[in-house]
Structure 1
């Protein structure tokens, strides 16, 4: 099986994640980078849409998790994104997701705080 990658970089969403009440009320920007490993070798030969994974559907899946849920931790948000993407397309075998919170409420100037996780598709029980 060939393992190819699809990258979605710099997906930006306004959402309400964080530990503090102000974050739940005011919200802030979150930036997500997503890498999906999948066998779409057929698409490199066929040039057919059905032989690859829809980038737009991937982006909408991430958007739904980020904007329609609320989590205290970036770690949980990243995990929820992985779970949703695995559900979206069974051809995806591995995911790396990075979630950046560029406006974290901390008393020091920073370009953002981020977490990155990598998950393999969970094994299915027979």
Structure 2
């Protein structure tokens, strides 16, 4: 069984992109997360240690976005998913990276990529 914990609209400032001005000037990226995990133990115990601490998760995700620039939001989304899956209770992570200020010569409201990654089975 998998419950879902969502953290949406996490604004981060990063220097990702393929263009020099993106790397130099940086821009805002907005991250939405949905994590699959069993929250029954936390509900029964009312103890933060039995669930994902979304405050710490937000800090870790912001650090993943704000450091080590990459060219593609695909790479960034994978990095964020990997951070989410560090907690053994997380069965899967759905990560959306929004790039609302993408360098596109057109009127648009958002560019976003969503990926879903599952914990690899151990044998």
Where on the TM-score scale, by shorter chain, does this alignment land: which range?
Answer: over 0.9
Q: CA deviation at 1:124?
A: 2.5
Q: CA deviation at 1:7?
A: 0.4
Residue 78 of structure 2 is matched in structure 1 by 79
Residue 97 of structure 1 is matched in structure 2 by 95
TM-score, normalised to structure 2's length? 0.95
Residue 57 of structure 1 aligns to a residue whose secondary structure is helix
Task: Count residues in correspondence.
Answer: 123
- Structure 2 spans left out of the alignment, 5+ residues: none
Residue 123 of structure 1 is matched in structure 2 by 121
Residue 104 of structure 2 aligns to a residue whose secondary structure is coil
**Greater Cα offset, 26-35 or 116-125:** 116-125
CA distance in 2, matches of 1:124, 1:64: 28
The answer to whether structure 1 residue 53 and structure 2 residue 57 are counterparts is no
TM-score, normalised to structure 1's length? 0.93
Q: CA deviation at 1:5?
A: 1.0
CA distance in 1, matches of 2:60, 2:116: 17
Q: CA deviation at 1:68?
A: 1.1
The answer to whether structure 1 residue 8 and structure 2 residue 7 are counterparts is yes
Q: CA deviation at 1:122?
A: 1.3
CA distance in 1, matches of 2:38, 2:98: 28
CA distance in 2, matches of 1:106, 1:25: 17
Q: CA deviation at 1:69?
A: 1.9
